[in-house]
Amino acid sequence: MTAPKATNITWHAGELDRAARARAHGHGGATLWLTGLSGSGKSTLARRVERRLLERGVFAYVLDGDNIRHGLCADLGFSPEDRHENIRRVGEVAKLFTDAGAIVLTAFVSPYRADRDAVRALFDRARDGEGALPFVEVHVAADLATCEGRDPKGLYAKARRGELRDFTGIDAPYEAPSAAELTIDTGSEDVDASAARVIAWLEARGHLSS
């Protein structure tokens, strides 16, 4: 956890607790942290799950890696230090959304296991005494050959030509989850099948009504 620089601040609890928000929405909050190589289908899967959830009246929202870098993290690059800060900021935002009762889907390469574990630890710590917030690591596990074959942004081609440095999977590491709650191989099933598996997982564990 990063300690605030300011010392004259106090955490203010709201008038509604988490249970009241869950009653209002018809479900509790949770963050599904989609991690995987560029081109693995994280954003596509997250958007399809978001759509399916919204169609059934669920409060859901996607935090997408590229979109976040247009604003909240526009000052960050792709060095290990900047990647760490990028994930830290996103983790804090996702936690707020989750506390508000949203099903949050994050779509970030988030290549370092320690950074993902730090976000999980953030969800395990509650300031309000209501207990841990649900954090679900989803490994979008299409392999490098599949991702490079897709190359939707042409980034792998640039990395192979040496025009793009520190690219995950080529000259920067990707540390796959060792114990993800859910693993989806988008190289072996289509996006609708993958989305259905995610939603079924949420239903089976009580995050949604079936």
Q: Find all residues with CB under 8 Å of 182, minimum gap 6, and list them.
A: 32, 136, 137, 138, 139, 197, 198, 201
Which pTM value belongs to this model?
A: 0.91
CA distance 85 to 69: 12
pLDDT digits (tens, 9 = 90+) for 32-79: 999 999 999 999 999 999 999 999 999 999 999 889 999 999 999 888
Residue tagged active-site, from 38, 110, 188, 209: 110
Q: Which domains does the chain have, with CATH numbers?
A: 24-204 (3.40.50.300)
pLDDT at 125: 80
Torsion angle, CA of 122/126/130/133, rounded to 10 degrees? -10
Residue 43: active-site member:
no
DSSP state of 162: T
- Per-residue pLDDT tens for 145-174? 999 999 989 999 999 999 999 999 999 999
